[in-house]
Copies of this chain bind each other. A is one copy, B any other.
Amino acid sequence: MTEFMTGVAGKDTVEISEILAKDYEGKTVRVNGAVHTIRDMGDVAFVILRKREGLLQCVFEDGKTKFDLKDLKEAATIEAEGVVQSEERAPNGFEVRLTEIKVLSEPAAPMPFAISKWKLPTSLETNLDNRAIALRNVRERAKFRIQEGVVRGFRDFLYEEGFTEIHTPKIGAKSAEGGANLFRLEYFHRPAVLQQSPQFYKQMMVGVFDRVFETAPVFRAEKHNTKRHLNEYTSLDFEMGYIDSFTDIMAMETGFLQYTMKLLEKDYAKELKILGITLPNVDKIPTVRFDEAKQKVAEKYNRQIRNPYDLEPEEEALIGQYFKEEYDADFVFVTHYPSKKRPFYAMEDPADTTYTLSFDLLFHGLEITTGGQRIHDYDMLLEKIEKRGMTTEGMEQYLAVFKYGMPPHGGLGIGLERLTMKIIGEDNVRETTLFPRDLSRLEP
């Protein structure tokens, strides 16, 4: 006889939110979870289950089940039955008084460190070396729920604003930003690279959908080994056509941040609480020209300007400090970066071509976004390529979209791990990367 699948099967187990949503007081429920920790008090023991929605306190009383507590190991997974009872000292305000325990799986060895501690008692190195285990810690995993909220906010906001999601290839013959810092591979006997950014593709797709976004990995073979750099990260990219000015892009990013902070408050309140996060102020974000920002910081903090065409990390930090002190601002858009520090496709400011119609967004003094208006005129683009002494070889398809007509457009890329790090208040981007890739780390 043929059987059919008809949709998600009903479960006989309940989740924490289901117990909280209905009146389960005094009722018997079935629950499952991993044994996070066992506190044996003699006659009674607290068995804390780790579930996806949080911790669940179960109470084991001698003689109330046929189960021998000695047979229950930490890190075992179980399915259990018990009676729900209010208990204000328990997580979520209730506990389950156990009547039955069934072990689903058992560990083969005791945990290498106490993941059930509130703060993980390890160095970051040990944490990363044992990443999949360390992430079972409640605070560690909460960071990645916040990260989920950020990506979700990005997508949902942009859907509402008429953007279309795209998926562009990560292996290519050539990359947008040119030769340096590319991972190289052989693609069926041809040289290939991993994309540093979806830049070329998202611009091409503006000619198709006007507004596009992508949330995907990018690869940078940079030899930096700092707290801010990763060699693979998740880039939140968008690109939009028919802009009146590059400020439209900054306005869109501000909208995204406002939407996302509201989403975090609404759907990720539990994780914000676990991590003790105060969300940044995104009601209004000041803007400042690159050259003015340098000037302001030099004056206020009595600092010499060494290179007028670049921002050093310490200068970025001071700009953040300046706008926090002067405007209580968590973010600041630094605009009009020098042309020589921007890629060939950046639109120069017609008022002064030394500068571009581009920006970085700093969050507490750290760059989390680079964006700007792009050149959309075919001849202007060719001229710029020639001026830079670059070749158009391998860029024929990219250039074709301008040859056959493109609207004025611009966009940006946001480093997901950096943005998450700053929201959480961490100071190392590896803290907010599930499995970081850096100069020394290729595993796990």
Query: Contact at A398–B204, with CB atoms within 8 Å?
Result: no
**18 contacting pairs across A/B (C-beta < 8 A):** A5-B247, A5-B333, A7-B258, A8-B255, A75-B405, A79-B242, A105-B405, A105-B408, A107-B403, A108-B404, A133-B400, A169-B435, A170-B217, A170-B232, A184-B186, A188-B439, A194-B194, A205-B434
Q: Which residue of B lies closest to A134 (CB)?
A: B208
Q: How many copies does the complex hold?
A: 2
Q: Which B residues lie within 8 Å of A251 (CB)? A: 5-9
A152-B159, A234-B167, A247-B9 known; A207 vs B136 contact (CB < 8 Å) = yes
Query: Contact at A242–B2, with CB atoms within 8 Å?
Result: no
User: Chain A 188-219 against B: per-residue CB contact (8 Å), 1 yes, 0 no?
Assistant: 10101010000001001101111100001101
Q: Does A313 sit within 8 A of B, measured CB to CB?
A: no
Query: Contact at B216–A216, with CB atoms within 8 Å?
Result: yes
Query: Contact at A166–B185, with CB atoms within 8 Å?
Result: no
A85 and B408 alpha carbons, distance in the complex (Å):
28
Query: Contact at A377–B105, with CB atoms within 8 Å?
Result: yes
Q: Give, as a whole number of angstroms, the nearest-CB distance from A331 to chain B.
A: 9
Query: Contact at A442–B4, with CB atoms within 8 Å?
Result: no
Between A5, A141, A216, the greatest number of chain B beta carbons within 10 A of the residue's beta carbon is seen for A5
Query: Contact at A254–B170, with CB atoms within 8 Å?
Result: no
Q: Does A41 sit within 8 A of B, measured CB to CB?
A: no
Q: Which B residues lie within 8 Å of A106 (CB)? A: 405
Q: Which B residues lie within 8 Å of A127 (CB)? A: none
A167 and B147 alpha carbons, distance in the complex (Å):
10
A248-288 contacts to B, CB under 8 A, are 248, 250-255, 258, 283-288
Q: Does A421 sit within 8 A of B, measured CB to CB?
A: no
Q: Does A406 sit within 8 A of B, measured CB to CB?
A: yes
A443 and B247 alpha carbons, distance in the complex (Å):
33
Q: Which B residues lie within 8 Å of A377 (CB)? A: 105
Q: Which residue of B lies closest to A359 (CB)?
A: B5
Query: Contact at A407–B7, with CB atoms within 8 Å?
Result: no
Q: Does A86 sit within 8 A of B, measured CB to CB?
A: no
What 5 new A-B contacts, CB under 8 Å, besides A144-B208, A187-B231? A52-B164, A130-B397, A132-B208, A133-B404, A183-B187
A167 and B250 alpha carbons, distance in the complex (Å):
26
